Amino acid sequence: MDSILRKIRDECLEANKALPETGLVDFTFGNVSVLDLSRGIFAIKPSGIPYDDLRKEDIVLLDLDGKVLYGESKPSSDTPTHRYLYRTLGERGVHAIVHTHSRRAVAFAQAGFAIPCLGTTHADYFAGEVPITRDLTKAEVKGNYEWETGKIIAEVFAEIDPMPIPAVIVRRHGPFAWGANGIKAVENAHVLEVVADIAWQTLLLNPRAESIPAYLLEKHYKRKHGPEAYYGQPTDPSERKAHRPPKAPRKGYPDPRFYAFDR
Ligand SMILES: [Zn+2]
């Protein structure tokens, strides 16, 4: 295994280990994968192994045709969904994918609602509502179910840029989130659960609560993303007014190195 493949394997292990720390997963529900776009190879969690027991050698590496290249374990049963999404959205920036059954987001999936963008907490991370897929047909469920799940997600993003909206709700099932790397994707899955929780409570208080006005949504999203972003500390130390010694990187999740709000 060369250094590029070791990198995605290790990133995949780190992100899967971070997942239980977010409180998003019960038992072994959930999985993270990481893509190397240039090689068309991705690393994914093996099926049914508890997060605590995961080791480097358990991570499975596959190509985009589904051929296992490294790993003795059976890959996650959701692997075809990840593979479909990398084939269709990989070139649009989706380089790591997280699937969980986090409870608030699953509640939206079961209720059949997209997560509306009701305030600035949501707008800081998602440039609009988090969309919901259509239902799978009986034939799709009886056929290659996990592959078809990827297809109905990709259908939603035919018209939507997947990076400003780095998550989706699969109807009656649950959330998928993504990002430019494994930890960023875990962070997006975590924020998705937070905004689902806040939206739920908002709608309980006021079922007629309206979406955030477009001008406020744009203000909040753009101050953290893209060329006009100004949230946080400048990345060039000479531009910082406070001269603080850099902190040693902290282990575990959340990792402050990944909090630069760029995907
Ligand atoms: Zn699932």
Q: What is the pLDDT of residues 197-221, one digit of tens each?
A: 999 999 999 999 999 999 999 999 9
Q: Convert the pLDDT of each residue in 61-78 to its tens digit.
A: 999 999 999 999 999 999
Domain assignment present for residue 104? The answer is yes
pLDDT in tens, 119-153: 999 999 999 999 999 999 999 999 999 999 999 99
Average pLDDT over residues 23-50: 93
The boundaries of the domain holding residue 51 are 3-205
- Is 193 domain-assigned? yes
pLDDT tens for residues 158-202?
Answer: 999 999 999 999 999 999 999 999 999 999 999 999 999 999 999
With respect to residue 229, please indicate whether it lies within any of the assigned structural domains: no
Residue 253 has pLDDT above 90, yes or no: no
Q: Is 231 among the catalytic positions?
A: yes
In a domain, 257, yes or no: no
- Catalytic residue, chosen from 26, 63, 231, 262, is 231
Residue 179 lies in a domain: yes
The answer to whether residues 1 and 9 touch, using CB atoms and an 8 Å cutoff, is yes
Taking the centre of ligand 1 as the mean of its atom positions, its distance from the CA of residue 213, in whole angstroms, is 33
For the chain, give the DSSP string: --HHHHHHHHHHHHHHHHGGGGT--STT--EEEEEETTTTEEEEPBTT--GGG--GGG-EEEETT--EEE-SSPB-TTHHHHHHHHHHHGGGT--EEEE---HHHHHHHHHT--B---SHHHHTT-SS-B-BPPPPPHHHHHSSHHHHHHHHHHHHTTSS-TTTS-EEEETTTEEEEEESSHHHHHHHHHHHHHHHHHHHHHHHH-TTPPPPPHHHHHHHHHHHSSTT---S--SSGGG-SS--PPPPPPPSSS-GGG-SS--
The pLDDT assigned to 261 comes to: 43
Ligand 1 centroid from CA 11, angstroms: 21
Distance 100 CA to ligand 1 centre (A): 6
Give the model's confidence band at 1: pLDDT under 50 very low, under 70 low, under 90 confident, else very high: confident
Q: Which of 124, 125, 221, 253 is catalytic?
A: 124
> What percentage of the chain reaches a pLDDT higher than 70?
88
Q: How far is CA 108 from CA 99, 128, 191, 195, in A?
A: 15, 16, 15, 11
203 Cα to the center of ligand 1, angstroms: 25
CATH number of the domain within which 189 lies: 3.40.225.10
Residue 118 within any structural domain of the chain: yes
The domain tally of the chain equals: 1
Contact of 153 with 130, CB cutoff 8 Å: no
Domain contains 115: yes
Query: Looking at the domain assignment, is residue 227 inside a domain?
Result: no
pTM higher than 0.85 for the full model?
Answer: yes
Output the CA 105–ligand 1 centroid distance in Å.
Answer: 12
